[in-house]
Structure 1
């Protein structure tokens, strides 16, 4: 099934499931969440600059960290190779994490403000406008007690915003079992 090429003017159903690429990995994602963290994932991964990539070809990797407490779900276009194949990533940290707070404050000060829901505002920093220039753009926001970050190639600006809106409107995934906080 090809990835969406463009999503314009669509509405997002709050009870929808995460994008199909994540479904086989939901148990691993939820079991990797530390107690107190909840993860939001988009309903789709639309791509305009990678129309030759099929969703079934994407590789999902889950990275969990206890210090700082963070979960990152990354999407790759290959298992391994001589050239980088990271397509994008979705991360969550507690709002009390010092590094996440600093990065969110930087996004609030330097980024473009975007409305994710009626009550949630996100902040977009485009990679090429940073010094030094960076090939990935990021959207960050605080929702409930979590700070979320989405990072995708700068040429996917519209789709990056779509995914952030989708995530903010979705129900979060909670840990499968309580894991102690270190």
Structure 2
């Protein structure tokens, strides 16, 4: 019997990626306190932080799931050597965009897959994928207009490539899905590692 995939994320962009890739799944949002989890872990690189939070989300949901596959994901943006998550506040988003304008940053997405099918008993595999994002020079007027839409407030790095901010992205080195928040090719590798062909999850 094909196992059920549970996405431990509230991100509409991640579930859209899975839907567009034809992957059957359901969403169950975790109750992880991200600030508390990272504080407890101590100093981490941006990539390590993304994987830690992906793992925490997957484990939180897996604790309530009897069988199947649980996928946790988290994204952290790095620019000038510093990690950034969601800005939440408009002024924070404006400051981020002033910093990013005309520069390049790295978007790290952590993936953590827990398999509890066929007696696997909670086998877990994790991987971080990273992509370099090159930004156009963006004017103050464009920054103000973009922040006013609200789009950048609840996404890592204060930008999307599959939304309005696509106009401000000069190029990407790496898997674009990583920047959206879930690398489908990485998911395929993780599924293979626990003995599940991704084709078994196609709708």
- Give the greater-gyration-radius structure (CA): 2
**TM-score, with length taken from structure 1:** 0.29
Where relative contact order (Cα < 8 A, 6+ residues apart) is larger, the structure is 1
Q: If each structure's strand is expressed as a fraction of its own residues, which one has the higher value?
A: 1
Q: Which has the higher helix share?
A: 2
